[in-house]
């Protein structure tokens, strides 16, 4: 009798624990998701083929080291647009060239971009390269305040600092204050870039969400690379399609267990 009571108690406890679960907010959305029709499938195949063609063009651009600033800008855009995984070797080779190059005479934007890209890829680069932008009193030069692109690049670079790199703490305080004060005077797409970074620095953002935001910003940029922009849009849609199919398979598996 006591064992029967114990079993009943356990069953009641289990029922009590599971009764409060809410249904998935997605319902059966992914299960009822219709796979592409033959026409849509043809379009999907065209997108994949076009993506391959565009990737080959970008690879050729990355292998042209005649203008390292342009190469760095291309790498930065590739990363922000979420397609860097297609070009890992080319980016690695290009950054090796950037690391070996002499950038001692370059400006704030170039120095900051170089620092950020190399730090992101594990290079041991000193933050004291930014000392050359300080005056004799140890403060950052006042004429830097007119270089919005340079300040934004420096701001994002500073978030790749490690413990004890106090100069980068100074950089964050200096650049954040100036960039915030400039917001009302900026126009898109620079306004969008600055606002995005001030809200959450690029390095701290979830990559896929950053990609979605940055595509719309990048297409407003007069200096954009249209080949890269087309690739980024195609790739984003292809990845979204893949995720939907994966979620459908996973949802059907879970549904079959109940």
3-state helix, strand, coil in the chain (%, to 5): 70, 0, 30
Residue 240: per-residue pLDDT: 83
The whole-model pTM stands at 0.81
- Closest residue by Cα to residue 106 from 77, 145, 67: 67
Q: What are the pLDDT digits (tens) for 48-87?
A: 999 999 999 999 999 999 999 999 999 999 999 999 999 9
Q: What contacts 81, CB < 8 A, 6 or more positions away?
A: 211, 214, 215, 218, 228, 229, 231, 232
Segments of the chain scoring below 50 in pLDDT: 7, 10-11
Q: Helical H runs in 189-225?
A: 190-199, 207-218
Q: Which two tokens stand for residue 7?
A: 């079993």
Q: How far is residue 188's CA from residue 210's CA, in Å, rounded to a whole number?
A: 17
Question: What spatial distance separates the first Cα and last Cα of the chain, rounded to whole Å?
Answer: 32
Ordered by where they begin, the domains of the chain are 69-256 (1.50.10.130)
Residue 43: per-residue pLDDT: 85
Residue 102: per-residue pLDDT: 79
Residue 189: per-residue pLDDT: 96
- Closest residue by Cα to residue 109 from 154, 70, 156: 154
Q: Strands, DSSP E only, in 125-243?
A: none
- Closest residue by Cα to residue 125 from 99, 98, 151: 99
């Amino acid at each position: 009798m006591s064992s029967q009571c114990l079993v009943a108690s356990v069953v009641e406890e289990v029922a009590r624990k599971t009764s409060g679960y809410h249904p998935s907010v997605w319902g059966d959305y992914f299960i009822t998701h219709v796979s592409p029709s033959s026409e849509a499938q043809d379009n999907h195949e065209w997108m994949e083929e076009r993506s391959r063609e565009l990737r080959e063009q970008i690879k050729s651009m990355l292998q042209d080291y005649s203008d390292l600033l342009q190469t760095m800008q291309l790498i930065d855009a590739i990363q922000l647009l979420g397609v860097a995984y297609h070009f890992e070797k080319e980016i690695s080779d290009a950054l090796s060239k950037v690391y070996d190059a002499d950038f001692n005479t370059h400006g704030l934007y170039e120095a900051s971009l170089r620092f950020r890209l190399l730090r992101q890829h594990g290079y041991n680069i000193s933050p004291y390269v930014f000392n050359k932008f300080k005056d004799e009193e140890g403060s950052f030069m006042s004429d830097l305040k007119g270089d919005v692109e340079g300040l934004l690049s420096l701001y994002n670079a500073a978030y790749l600092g490690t413990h004890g790199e106090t100069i980068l703490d100074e950089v964050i305080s200096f650049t954040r204050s100036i960039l915030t004060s400039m917001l009302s005077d900026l126009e898109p797409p620079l306004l969008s870039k600055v606002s995005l970074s001030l809200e959450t620095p690029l390095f701290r953002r979830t990559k896929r969400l950053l990609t979605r935001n940055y595509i719309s910003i990048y297409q407003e940029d007069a200096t954009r690379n249209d080949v890269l922009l087309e690739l980024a849009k195609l790739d984003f849609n292809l990845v979204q399609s893949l995720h939907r199919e994966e979620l459908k398979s996973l949802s059907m598996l879970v549904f079959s267990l109940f």
